Amino acid sequence: MAFVTLNNLVKVYPEKSGPGIRAVNGIDLEIKEREFMVLVGPSGCGKSTTLRMIAGLEDISGGAITIAGEVVNHVQPKDRDIAMVFQNYALYPHMSVYENMAFGLKLRKYPKTEIDARVREAATMLGLTDYLDRKPKALSGGQRQRVAVGRAIVRKPKVFLFDEPLSNLDAKMRVSTRAEISKLHARLDATMIYVTHDQVEAMTMGDRICVMKDGNIMQVAEPLELYNHPASMFVAGFMGSPPMNFFKGRITRSPHGLVFVEDNSKAAPFQLLLGGPLAEKAAAYADRAVVCGVRPEDAQDTATVANPGTGHTIDAVVEISEPMGPETFLHLHTGAHAFTARVRASNPFAINQKVEITFLMDRVRLFDPDTEKAL
């Protein structure tokens, strides 16, 4: 059952002249109870604005937000039974850790013993017991972040909102805190909505991911579904690092079946023989332009592939190679297209060396070049 529902939600920032800037463009989204939903997208895509509208910190220009069956458009933030963890933590600098966590309960006139019990419970859960008397200034970044989470926990809200809570931590802290929050979600069994621009956070934490761009939702799906079956070139390019490689080309018929032929005027264009479901999708596009997407890990050095087969190997030239240890990022080009391959490292590659690359055809995706949607 949907717990938080966004219905044709619109946010317009007024301009001096003109119709105003549409930061959120009529989006629909259903978030289930106890779900960990991640809103992800590049900066300016409207994800934070959406979160802030759910929180009640921004006016809603159009549409409706429902929480637990009740339309909350005109409900004050404090009455929505939600808690938020801010990007910069927003800890009250003049209050101790204890006071920071107790503040919301104090304002709601909870009895002292209840407040104390809840704060201590949250502090134990987050490992903050020894720091309760400290001021935020005396804490490390990771500790501050936990206090911010603790402040949300003690309220026992229906919905937790996170606004890029890890972006101010260093890389190491980010990885460990990511896991902490995931554990917390499992433990609290609460609905959480999490905004980030980092696709790794989205992939690792979300039950489902909502990818946004320019105020629109591009795709909502479970992480692996999103990764394996991106609905559009944008989603395919946004999720994954290094991003998916795109090759412009067209579908042509050949005696063996449908073939993707690269647009290449500088060298011999490579050809990919399409089979299985890919061929079914490509059938409608015969003799038309398409874009072929291949993830770097699905492009392998033919020398390391057990059964290379035929019809899906291409020749490329090494521009640069970045050995990572277990694997090597090869920056290659075919003459017309530059692309990246994430190959199992066997031997070093030299610049301008010619390599034969095999594409794992069941993982290759085709897109319509005009709509940028997946076929």
Partner 1 sequence: MSPVRSIDGSRQRSDWPSHLIIWGFLLIELFPLYMMFQVSFKDNASFIANPWLPTSPATWNWGNWDFGLRLIGPYIANTVFVATTGTIGTIGFAICGAYFFARCKLPFSDALWAAFLLLMLLPGVTNIVPLFTQLKDLNLLNTLWALVIVGIASAQVFNIFVLRHFIEDLPKDLFEAAEMDGAGHLQRIWHIVIPLSAPIIGTLFILAFLAKWNEILLPLIVLRDKELFTLGVGLFYLDGEYTKQWGQVMAAYSISAIPLIIVFLFAMRFFVKGLSSGAVKG
Partner 2 sequence: MTTLPNNQGAFRRILRDWRLYFFVVPSALLVAGFAYYPAASAIYHSFFYWSGGDSMHWIGLANFKRAFHDQVLWQSFQTVSILVLFNLFKLIPSIFMAVLIHRLASDRWRYVYRVLLVVPMIVPSLTTLFIWKFFLDPNIGALNRILDITGCKGVLVSIDHFFGWGVFLENHPIGWLSQPELVLPSLFIWGFPWIGAVGVLIFLAGLQSINSEIYEAAELDGIGPIGKFFHIELPLILTQVRLSLVLLIVSTLQGYVLQLLLLGDSGGPDGRGMVPGLWMYNRAFIAGEFGYACAVGIIIFAFILVLTLINNKYVRIDK
Binding site for partner 1 (CB under 8 A): 55-57, 77-78, 82-84, 86-94, 103-104, 107-108, 151
Of the two residues 21 and 57, which places its CB atom closer to partner 1 in the complex? 57
Q: Which residues fall within 8 angstroms of residue 319, CB to CB, at 6 or more apart?
A: 331, 332, 333, 338, 351
DSSP 129-182: GGGTTS-GGGS-HHHHHHHHHHHHHTT--SEEEEESTTTTS-HHHHHHHHHHHH
Integer Cα distance of 279 and 312 in angstroms: 14
Q: How far is the CB of 29 from partner 2 (least distance, A)?
A: 16
Q: Which is nearer to partner 1, 118 or 213 (CB)?
A: 118
Contacts of partner 2 in 22-61 (CB under 8 A): 22, 26, 59, 61
Considering CB distances under 5 to 8 angstroms, the limit depending on partner class, which of partner 2, partner 1, none binds residue 20? partner 2
By the rule CB under 8 A, 75 interacts with partner 2 = no
Taking the complex as a whole, how short is the minimal distance between the CB of residue 338 and partner 1, in angstroms? 41
DSSP 373: B
- If binding is defined by CB under 8 A, does position 12 make contact with partner 2? yes
Q: Which two tokens stand for residue 30?
A: 């259903």
204 binds, among partner 2, partner 1, none (CB under 5 to 8 A by kind): none
CB-nearer residue toward partner 1: 48 or 219: 48
What is the pairing mode between strands 299-301 and 289-294? unpaired
Q: Min. distance of Cβ 122 from partner 1 in angstroms?
A: 14
Q: Which of 145, 99, 89 is nearest to 119 (CA)?
A: 99
User: What does DSSP assign to residue 286?
Assistant: B
Residue 57 interacts with, from partner 2, partner 1, none (CB under 5-8 Å by kind): partner 1
Beta strands in the chain (DSSP E): 2-13, 21-32, 36-40, 62-67, 70-71, 82-85, 159-163, 191-196, 208-213, 216-221, 245-254, 257-262, 271-273, 289-294, 299-301, 313-323, 327-333, 338-344, 354-359, 365-367
> Which of partner 2, partner 1, none does residue 253 bind (CB under 5 to 8 Å by kind)?
none
DSSP state of 267: S
Angle value at C-alpha 201, between 200 and 203, nearest 5 degrees: 65
14 near partner 2, judged by CB under 8 A: yes
CB of 22 to partner 2, least distance (A): 8
The residue range among 7-15, 79-87, 125-133, 215-223 that interacts with partner 2, by the rule CB under 8 A, is: 7-15
Shortest distance in whole angstroms from residue 6 CB to partner 2: 14
Q: Name which of 46 and 150 has its Cβ closer to partner 2.
A: 46
Beta bridge partners of 261: 250, 271
CB of residue 78 vs partner 2: minimum separation in angstroms?
A: 15
280 binds, among partner 1, partner 2, none (CB under 5 to 8 A by kind): none
- Classify the C-alpha dihedral 192-193-197-200 as positive or negative: positive
- Which among partner 1, partner 2, none contacts residue 217 (Cβ within 5 to 8 A by kind)? none
Q: Quote the CA–CA distance of 13 and 21 in Å, as a whole number.
A: 5
Beta-carbon count within 10 A of 263 CB: 12
Residue 61 CB, shortest distance to partner 1, in Å, is 15
User: Of partner 1, partner 2, none, which one does residue 8 interact with (CB within 5 to 8 Å by kind)?
Assistant: partner 2
> To which residue do tokens 């090494």 refer?
318
Task: Let me know: does 156 contact 76? Beta carbons within 8 Å.
Answer: no
Q: Which of residues 308-347 bind partner 2 (CB under 8 A)?
A: none
Q: Which is nearer to partner 2, 22 or 34 (CB)?
A: 22
Contact residues toward partner 2 (CB under 8 A) are 8, 10, 12, 14, 19-20, 22, 26, 59, 61-62, 74
